[in-house]
Amino acid sequence: MARLAGRKIIITGGASGIGRATARLFRQEGAAVAILDRSDTAAKAVADEIGAVAIACDVSDPASVSAAVNKAAEAMGGLDGVINAAGILAETGIADTTAEVFSRTVAVNLTGTFLVIQAAAPLIQKAGRGTIREHRLRCRLDAHRSGQCRLRRLKGRGRRADQVGGDGAGAEYPRELGLSRGG
């Protein structure tokens, strides 16, 4: 039996990188997966490859997030997990990072995480069990780190909220779903 059979999981940033790898793994393990990504074309390509749902979503836009999370839950028949893998990385050092790039980084990496959790939490609570995870890469511009620590405090029986860094700090990935970082 697949270890995630019956689970319904949203993966932001699921069209590339960690999000895409997570989507592939979760589908292999039997989860229903909804890929939320700003690139509708890329999300559809991955979704078609693995048998998932693709939904265009700008995680920094509250209306886009609310619509996408509700559409995903409707398509999967509920929701009991979120993997926040959407994120951007400034390729410059702090001295060369513009205020515009910094603001966009915070909007996607911190505000986007908040908006997705805010939209998904009532649906996860309704399911009575669930998991929320945030993924981030270790980087020179890590302004969202302290903010995400506060977002991880989702209280309630049967639900977890953790952060796993690019270095795996925080928890074995994702232990409560029955998987280890190695696959």
Report the alpha-carbon angle 170-106-112, nearest 5.
75
Residue 183 pLDDT > 70: no
Domain positions in the chain are 8-167
Predicted confidence at residue 146, as pLDDT, reads 42
Place of tokens 């509700």: 70
Secondary element (H or E) of residue 35: strand 32-37
Predicted confidence at residue 135, as pLDDT, reads 59
Predicted confidence at residue 150, as pLDDT, reads 38
CATH fold of 8-167: Rossmann fold (3.40.50)
Mean pLDDT of 55-66: 98
- Do residues 12 and 36 touch, judged by C-beta distance below 8 A? yes
Residue 170 pLDDT > 50: no
Q: What is the pLDDT of residues 111-147, one digit of tens each?
A: 999 999 999 999 998 887 777 766 554 333 344 444 4
Predicted confidence at residue 89, as pLDDT, reads 83
C-alpha 31/C-alpha 36 separation (Å) is: 15
Place of tokens 């893998």: 85
Confidence category of residue 171, pLDDT binned at 50, 70, 90: very low
C-alpha 14/C-alpha 52 separation (Å) is: 10
